[in-house]
Structure 1
Amino acid sequence: MASKSSSEAHTFSWLIMEQVLVLYLTNLQARAGFVSQNSYKYGFFSAAIKVPSGYTSGVVIAFYMSNAEMFPHAHDEIDFELLGHQRRREWILQTNIYGNGSVHTGREEKFRLWFDPTQQFHQYSIIWNHNHTVFLVDNVPIREVIYRQTTFTSYPLKPMSVYCTIWDGSEWATRGGKYPVNYNYAPFVTNLRDMELAGCSWDSKKGEAVCSNSGEGGASSLDPVGGQDFVKLSEEQNLGMQELRKRFMIYSYCKDKNRYKVLPPECRA
């Protein structure tokens, strides 16, 4: 992994302690983050994260994939975003996905967490392949986006890098910007470990993906790109996901008729 700034004016505050990456947000001009050295075209991407405790309104911790630097006007993105709150335990988990710069159509879904994310590490994972994108928390799927060319025209299909960041989202993150970051409570410290980036790395010179896990005999069930365990959820996983969504999902763009008079096509599929 390599550190990366979205602006030369930004300063980074991070260190590695006993295989744990520690990220600090200290003021409005500072943010911290990591980006993978490789880009990937499909795979399994995961990190264990422990978020700051205390007053964290406006703080955003993101584990996500993006190619905004390669395709600034038509970029793809797959997001986990943990949104801080004025109370210690009330972090909100937001997921989002879009392709080809379709940022005008927000595809957010938000969840209340069923655990205290400040006390222990929890695993946030993305499965991304030609069949679907799955968001998982502690290996339990919470959202599946199935790729259908006819109904999901903004599915991410271009190679992306993997990012971990902490930053100031005062304008929108907590109650629509009602509660901005209060730097009297800084520094805001988040910890990451157990990162796994498994998939087809992108060879920019050849313009093709290099997939080391698929042998001549075909993909094994554990192949993170084409394996059966990754391209389709089991019946048990589907049932568990639906139950979790019923209990903990608090917002879905597919149900927001005030925002979308005509729902996006994938919501009507």
Structure 2
Amino acid sequence: MKKKLLLSSLLLFIAAFSLVLLLLKEKNLFSEKETVDFTPSTVDTFQSLDNKKWEVREQFKLGRGYLLAQQVQPGSGTIKIELNNQTAAGGEIRTKEFFQYGQFEASIKTAHSPGSITGFFLYAPPDLYHEVDIEIFNERKSKVLFTIYENGKVAKQQEYPLPFDPTQEFHDYRMDVLPEETRFLIDGELIQSWKGNFSSQPMQLMINSWYPSWLEIEGPAPSATVIDKVSYRKY
């Protein structure tokens, strides 16, 4: 009799445990990172600007002004992108390598210059066809805009108010671009994800600070955007 009771209890426990596992899976509470097969990470801490990996945009019209090479200042362990509110000039760096799927993360402290943004994104021309964006507004009470462009239009977009001042400290911004899902994380916390395959062409990884035409410049730029570290790995 005791054996039958023990067997019944064991079966009930197994059934209950299986149900819990099923519920967890349905609610997506398991870490998906464990199932993603990435290549080893490439990490750049910018002790110098590696010209084999990175290029600086020389001169390119964007928004209210130009992206200029002179606005990008490599340092010992950081890259600074300076903004000029008088000329609306900004700057940009981008990888020479192209990516279709992968995991991309940057440690960034943004400039304090209301009316400008810092972008960490994947892009291939033409405009609005192949792009995955994290855009941070360069101001103390800030927000971030996550956007996916596909086939000439916005496919997905979400605005998120930041619970911190991005101009004061470094924070980690991450994109996971996968065949069946695109995820956006800040400081390791998943903020937004969209199911679906949005990537149809290899893209360059880019970081810039600039003045969009859809924002009004509200004053000088006393501090620069500073990039402390970038890591990326292909899927």
Q: Tell me the TM-score normalized by structure 2.
A: 0.69
1:74 Cα deviation after fit: 6.7
1:215-268: CA deviation from partner (whole Å, max 9, x where unpaired): xxxxxxxxxx2xxxxxxxxxxxxxxxxxxxxxxxxxxxxxxxxxxxxxxxxxxx
Name 2:177's counterpart in structure 1: 128
Name 1:35's counterpart in structure 2: 94
Name 2:73's counterpart in structure 1: 15
Name 2:109's counterpart in structure 1: 50
Name 1:82's counterpart in structure 2: 136
When the two structures are aligned, how many residues end up with a matched partner? 176
Separation in 1 of the partners of 2:172 and 2:94?
18
- Within-5 A mapping of 1:98-137: 98-101=149-152, 103=153, 105=154, 107-137=156-186
1:15 Cα deviation after fit: 1.3
1:106 Cα deviation after fit: 5.9
Separation in 2 of the partners of 1:74 and 1:98?
5
Establish whether residue 2 from structure 1 lines up as the match of residue 55 from structure 2: yes
Establish whether residue 181 from structure 1 lines up as the match of residue 229 from structure 2: no
Separation in 2 of the partners of 1:74 and 1:116?
29
1:186 Cα deviation after fit: 2.8
1:7-57: CA deviation from partner (whole Å, max 9, x where unpaired): 27642311122211100011435220101010012111110010123xx22
Secondary structure, counterpart of 1:120 in structure 2: coil
Read off the aligned partner of 1:45 and give its amino acid letter: F
1:171-191: CA deviation from partner (whole Å, max 9, x where unpaired): 32xxxx4xx1135x1355110
Q: Tell me the TM-score normalized by structure 1.
A: 0.60
Read off the aligned partner of 2:189 and give its amino acid letter: V
Separation in 2 of the partners of 1:11 and 1:191?
16
Read off the aligned partner of 2:203 and give its amino acid letter: M
Alignment RMSD? 2.0
Read off the aligned partner of 1:64 and give its amino acid letter: F
Secondary structure, counterpart of 2:148 in structure 1: strand
Name 1:161's counterpart in structure 2: 204
Separation in 2 of the partners of 1:5 and 1:125?
26
- Within-5 A mapping of 1:53-64: 53=112, 56-64=113-121
Structure 1 residues 115 and 187, CA, compared in 2 at 3 Å: closer, same or farther? closer
Separation in 1 of the partners of 2:231 and 2:155?
27
The answer to whether the 8 A contact 1:2-1:34 is kept is: yes
The answer to whether the 8 A contact 2:67-2:92 is kept is: no
Establish whether residue 194 from structure 1 lines up as the match of residue 201 from structure 2: no
Answer with 1 or 2: which has the greater Rg: 2
Segments of structure 2 that go 5 or more residues without pairing to the other structure are 1-53
The alignment-based identity, stated in percent, is 23
| Structure 1 or 2: more strand by fraction | 2
Question: Runs of 4+ in structure 1 displaced over 3 angstroms?
Answer: none
Separation in 2 of the partners of 1:51 and 1:10?
16
